[in-house]
């Protein structure tokens, strides 16, 4: 079996140079680097990851805690994380917290005990246990999609000593407001919303956007038209049925994620209602098969893969600069105009934001919510 010394002899360099090339610990001239890589290929050298981790105190592995199995939305995010991690030479350990506050703390603890270099996590609606564990053990962490805080939600200054974390997520309020404005512009005056799981920042921000959209259109906010679908299909089906049972049901509907869009469509079908003939529909989250529905679903598409890749970049920056201020990155979404809103068929032309993502950085650390155990 070839050794690092064999590679060094073959490439005509020192063992230290081989180490720098393989571990990325110091810049190496392109020609020298290529000579080392050619020697590695020719000799079939395989680095001893365990020995390297003992020397560097790094395993070059990332722990990812997202509900990728129970929530299809996270599947594309997972692909973005995996691709970016692999490109940087990191392996990925995946755990599914099932959106359960106690379970998420346990799985993150297991990842930490396996000596991952850092963690990327999509926190539950009650992340107190998770945040406490990560803070006590100073685990390099990036929160993904769901913030443990978000502006405009009655935030108060965090208690002294409460840890701060890097975070990345999509814009939520403005896109939801635009969906409402679009429906109002089509003449709808009773616009309902099926919101997500209470306690999540994505839910709170999209509800805020819904209210902003109503206000901008000069429409009164009727609390009966805002219902919770608990971020799942069954919950959304029940919530939509409740909206349809109102004495004055909505003429248009906004659903706050892809799973709830399916539940809402199921409830409409059970009532024999057509979209958009009987009720218009717009959704946050673009389904991979939204273009195949009849009618085709008007939606805001999140940059899912880029969210995952950006989370990896933030984590690697944190590992390189442990003392730098925490950052929050927001990525824009793209409006995909189809026909479920009641508009005529037109060529699909997603906004440039879907093709070229310009992250919004917040250099100053965001504020934590004062309400214990509430994720944003």
- Note if the bond before 295 is cis, omega within 30 degrees: yes
Residue closest to 265 by CA, chosen among 292, 233, 287, 291: 233
Q: What is the pLDDT along the chain (376 residues), one digit of tens a residue?
A: 788 888 899 999 998 898 888 777 788 899 999 999 998 888 887 765 545 544 445 678 999 999 866 677 888 899 999 999 999 989 999 999 988 999 999 999 999 998 899 999 999 999 999 999 999 999 999 999 999 864 433 333 344 444 589 999 999 999 999 999 999 999 999 999 999 999 999 999 999 999 999 999 999 999 999 999 999 999 999 999 999 999 999 999 999 999 999 999 999 999 999 999 999 999 998 877 767 777 899 999 999 999 999 999 999 999 999 999 999 999 999 999 999 999 987 655 554 444 444 455 544 333 322 222 223 3
Q: In order of start, what are the domains of the chain with their CATH numbers?
A: 4-47 (1.10.260.40), 61-169+305-331 (3.40.50.2300), 173-302+333-356 (3.40.50.2300)
Q: Report the side by side order of strands in the sheet with 298-301.
A: 226-228, 191-195, 252-255, 280-284, 298-301, 334-336
- Helix (H, G, I), strand (E, B), or coil: what is residue 130? helix
How many CB atoms within 10 Å of residue 258? Answer: 22
Long-range pairs for 105-113: beta carbons < 8 A, 24 or more residues apart: 105/129, 105/130, 105/132, 105/133, 107/65, 108/63, 108/65, 108/133, 108/134, 108/139, 109/133, 111/63, 111/65, 112/63, 112/137, 112/139
Per DSSP, the chain holds a count of helices (H) and strands (E) of 12, 13
Q: Are 15 and 5 in contact (CB under 8 A)?
A: yes
How far is it, in rounded angstroms, from Cα 264 to Cα 238?
A: 8
Tell me whether strands 91-95 and 61-65 are parallel, antiparallel or unpaired: parallel
Q: Cβ distance 39 to 4 under 8 Å?
A: no
44: alpha, beta or left, given left = phi > 0 and alpha = psi -120 to 50? Answer: left
- Nearest CA to 2 among 31, 50, 36? 36
Q: What's the start-to-end Cα distance of the chain, in Å?
A: 52
From residue 335, how far is each of 85, 100, 176 by CA, in Å? 29, 32, 10
Which residues sit opposite 91 in a β-bridge?
61
Asked if 58 and 285 count as a contact pair (C-beta separation under 8 A), the reply is: no
* pLDDT score of 107: 94
User: Rg of the Cα trace of the chain?
Assistant: 24
C-alpha distances (whole Å) from 185 to each of 45, 56, 114, 182 are 64, 59, 54, 5
Q: What is the pLDDT of residue 156?
A: 34
Q: At a CB cut-off of 8 Å and minimum separation 6, what does 1 contact?
A: 46
The whole model's pTM is what?
0.77
């Amino acid at each position: 079996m070839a050794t690092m010394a064999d590679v060094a002899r073959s490439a005509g360099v020192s063992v230290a140079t081989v180490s720098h090339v393989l571990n990325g610990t110091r810049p190496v001239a392109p020609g020298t680097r290529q000579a080392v890589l050619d020697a590695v290929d020719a000799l079939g050298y395989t680095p001893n990851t365990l020995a390297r981790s003992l020397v560097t105190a790094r395993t070059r592995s990332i722990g990812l805690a997202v509900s990728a199995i129970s929530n299809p939305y996270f599947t594309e995010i997972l692909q973005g994380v995996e691709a970016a991690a692999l490109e940087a030479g990191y392996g990925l350990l995946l755990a599914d917290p099932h959106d359960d506050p106690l379970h998420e703390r346990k799985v993150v603890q297991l990842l930490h005990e396996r000596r991952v270099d850092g963690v990327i996590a999509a926190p539950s609606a009650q992340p107190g246990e998770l945040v406490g564990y990560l803070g006590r053990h100073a685990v390099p962490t990036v929160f993904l999609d769901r913030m443990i805080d978000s502006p405009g939600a009655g935030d108060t200054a965090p208690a002294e000593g409460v840890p701060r974390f890097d975070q990345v997520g999509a814009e939520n309020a403005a896109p939801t407001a635009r969906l409402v404005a679009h429906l109002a512009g089509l003449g709808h005056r009773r616009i309902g919303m099926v919101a997500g799981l209470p306690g999540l920042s994505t839910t709170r921000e999209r509800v805020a956007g819904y209210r902003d959209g109503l206000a901008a259109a000069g429409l009164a906010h009727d609390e009966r038209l805002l219902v919770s679908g608990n971020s799942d299909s069954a919950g959304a089906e029940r919530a939509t049925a409740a909206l349809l049972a109102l004495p004055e049901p909505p003429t248009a509907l906004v659903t706050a994620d892809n799973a709830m869009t399916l539940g809402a469509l199921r409830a409409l079908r059970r009532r024999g209602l057509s979209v958009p003939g009987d009720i218009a529909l717009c959704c946050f989250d673009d389904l991979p098969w939204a273009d195949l529905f009849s009618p085709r679903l008007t939606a805001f598409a999140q940059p899912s893969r880029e969210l995952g890749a950006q989370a990896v970049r933030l984590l690697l920056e944190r590992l390189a600069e442990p003392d730098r201020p925490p950052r929050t990155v927001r990525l824009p979404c793209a409006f995909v105009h189809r026909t479920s809103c009641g508009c005529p068929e037109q060529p699909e032309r997603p906004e440039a934001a879907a093709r070229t993502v310009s992250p919004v950085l917040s250099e100053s650390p965001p504020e934590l919510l004062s309400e214990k155990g509430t994720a944003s």
